């Protein structure tokens, strides 16, 4: 009777030891959430520095540009008041050619451009003889500080006239139903460029020597070509497509190949999962390995392992400011894998279990490779991540299939 009672007591104590160790590891994981929050703050702070650098470049070069569709009007007295009469736009075309380059501000690179812009079209004259009217033509841009030279405006096939402002007032001796115009200028900007729509027929063409463009705005281009020499995109949008839509525009964003801070934030979102899977591997090792080839892992050792894994993200951000992201990622991952492998072999297993050291190193190599694939395949990240987690959980269930959770032996 006493032997049975003692056996049951030892049986329960063994189960309690494993359960206590599990909750200790979970608590360690929760503690590591604190430095994870600091890492988010550090990356966000570096991203703010980058945004400040962009604004510094913008203040001296020119911000992103949007060219509103030109319009023409004249003032007419109605009783004691004046009211503006607008001439509708007929066919409207814009041709924009970009010459791009990279400007550096400290560690940060900012894509900037110089745009040669030619706007053409016809205003519809529905008011008859305009000889006594002061006609004002307006062509707004979002940041006029980017102008390199005076714009030239041509109305009704007259000689081009340089203008000092984004509007021009003159008298036209015409009663024709259509007033052609052409406006040309050279302007600087950064990151994005957009052209507003509003004519009965709108034909827009934007081209440049940037090889990583992103086409956005209200409509995607009907024709586009992208290669290593640059890009060319054309839009053809009728008025019926833009009716009922406020402030329609089309344009191009000059994307950097990789935004290292955005990628680092995405990496860090998987940090807790990485920590949990790694700690679970060590926990399974503790409860399944032979006693002569293992020893209990102290919670402080789990903390050091977790701290080493979190340093990966700090290394990644700091290196990616000087190196391509993929290079920084590989170097940072290998540094952490080697560090944890050495620590596992010499400290945790005391040189008695090289197999587990190899297993944990291969596991971490797989996790980092899997994470980079998730980052690269944005459209399939959720599907691939779900399948990957399923495979990992299935593997854990298989490895622990023979574990008697109430008996350490």
Q: Answer yes or no: is pLDDT of 3 > 70.
A: no
Domain that holds residue 212: 64-256
More confident residue, 200 or 105: 200
pLDDT value at residue 295: 62
Gap between the Cα atoms of 47 and 191, Å rounded: 16
Helix axes 271-288, 2-31, angle to 10 degrees: 160
Distance CA 309, CA 28 (A): 13
Co-location of 246 and 267 in the same domain: no
Using the 3D structure, point to which of 192, 225, 256 is the last residue of a domain.
256
Looking at residue 102, its pLDDT comes to 87
In a domain? residue 368: yes
Q: What's the pLDDT at 225?
A: 94
* Residue 378 banded pLDDT, cuts 50, 70, 90: low
Question: Which of 262, 252, 269 is closest to 50 using CA atoms?
Answer: 262
pLDDT on residue 4: 47
Please give the Cα distance from 117 to 207 (Å, whole number): 11
Tell me the pLDDT tens digit for each residue of 141-191. 999 999 999 999 999 989 999 999 999 999 988 888 899 999 999 999 998
What's the average model confidence in pLDDT over 85-107?
90
Arithmetic mean of pLDDT, 87-101: 93
Q: Over 60: is that where the pLDDT of 363 sits?
A: yes
Residue 258 confidence (pLDDT)? 63
pLDDT in tens, 208-253: 999 889 998 899 999 999 998 999 999 999 989 988 777 789 999 9
Residue 1 has pLDDT above 70, yes or no: no
Residue 283 has pLDDT above 50, yes or no: yes
Confidence (pLDDT) at 18: 73
Domain boundary at 213, 238, 256, which?
256
Angle at 362 between CA 356 and CA 365, to 5 degrees: 145
Same domain, 68 and 189: yes
pLDDT band of residue 314 (cuts 50, 70, 90) is very high
What confidence score (pLDDT) does residue 355 get? 85
Confidence of residue 262 (pLDDT cuts 50, 70, 90): confident
User: Which position has the token pair 């980092």?
Assistant: 368
pLDDT in tens, 327-356: 999 999 999 999 999 998 888 888 888 888
When pLDDT is cut at 50, 70 and 90, the band that residue 299 belongs to is: confident
Domain endpoint, select from 256, 284, 311: 256
Q: What is the mean pLDDT of the chain?
A: 85
Q: Domains in the chain: how many in total?
A: 2
Within a domain: residue 12?
Answer: no
331 and 307 housed in the same domain:
yes
Please report, in angstroms and rounded to a whole number, the separation of the first and last CA atoms in the chain: 23
Q: Are 362 and 369 in contact (CB under 8 A)?
A: no
382 within domain boundaries = yes
Give the per-residue pLDDT at 405. 66
Regarding whether 187 and 205 lie in a shared domain, the answer is yes
**Per-residue pLDDT at 8:** 45
Residue 47 scores a pLDDT above 60: yes
Residue 409 covered by a domain: no
Q: Is residue 8 part of a domain?
A: no
Pair (90, 29) in one structural domain: no
């Amino acid at each position: 009777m006493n032997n049975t009672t003692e056996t049951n007591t030892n049986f329960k104590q063994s189960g309690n030891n494993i359960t206590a160790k599990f909750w200790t590891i979970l608590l360690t994981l929760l503690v590591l959430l604190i430095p994870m929050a600091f890492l988010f703050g550090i990356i966000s702070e570096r991203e703010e520095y980058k945004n400040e650098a962009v604004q510094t470049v913008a203040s001296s070069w020119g911000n992103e540009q949007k060219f509103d569709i030109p319009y023409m009007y004249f003032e007419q007295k109605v009783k004691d008041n004046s009211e503006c009469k607008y001439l509708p736009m007929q066919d409207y075309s814009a041709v924009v050619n970009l010459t791009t380059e990279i400007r550096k501000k400290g560690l940060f690179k900012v894509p900037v451009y110089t745009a040669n812009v030619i706007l053409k079209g016809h205003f519809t004259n529905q008011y008859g003889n305009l000889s006594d009217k002061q006609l004002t033509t307006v062509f707004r841009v979002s940041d006029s500080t980017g102008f390199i030279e005076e714009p030239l405006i041509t109305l009704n096939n007259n000689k081009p006239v340089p203008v000092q402002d984004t509007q021009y007032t003159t008298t036209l001796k015409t009663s024709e139903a259509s007033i052609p115009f052409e406006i040309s200028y050279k302007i600087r900007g950064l990151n994005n460029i957009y052209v507003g729509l509003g004519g009965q027929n709108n034909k827009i063409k934007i081209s440049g020597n940037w090889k990583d463009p992103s086409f956005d705005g209200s409509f995607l281009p009907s024709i586009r070509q992208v290669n290593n020499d640059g890009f060319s995109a054309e839009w053809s949008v009728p008025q019926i497509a833009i009716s009922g839509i406020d402030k329609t525009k089309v344009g191009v964003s000059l994307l950097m190949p990789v935004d290292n801070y955005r990628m680092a934030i995405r990496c860090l979102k998987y940090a807790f999962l990485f920590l949990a899977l790694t700690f679970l591997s060590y926990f399974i090792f503790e409860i399944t390995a032979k006693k002569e080839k293992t020893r209990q892992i102290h919670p402080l050792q789990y903390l050091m392992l977790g701290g080493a894994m979190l340093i990966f993200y700090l290394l990644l951000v700091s290196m990616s400011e000087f190196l391509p992201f993929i290079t920084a990622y590989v170097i940072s991952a290998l540094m952490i894998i080697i560090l944890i492998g050495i620590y596992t072999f010499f400290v945790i297993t005391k040189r008695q279990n090289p197999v587990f050291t190899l297993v944990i190193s291969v596991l971490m190599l797989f996790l980092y490779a899997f994470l980079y694939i998730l980052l690269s395949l944005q459209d399939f990240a959720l599907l691939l991540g779900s399948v990957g987690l399923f495979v990992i959980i299935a593997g854990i269930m298989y490895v622990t299939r023979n574990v008697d959770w109430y008996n350490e032996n």
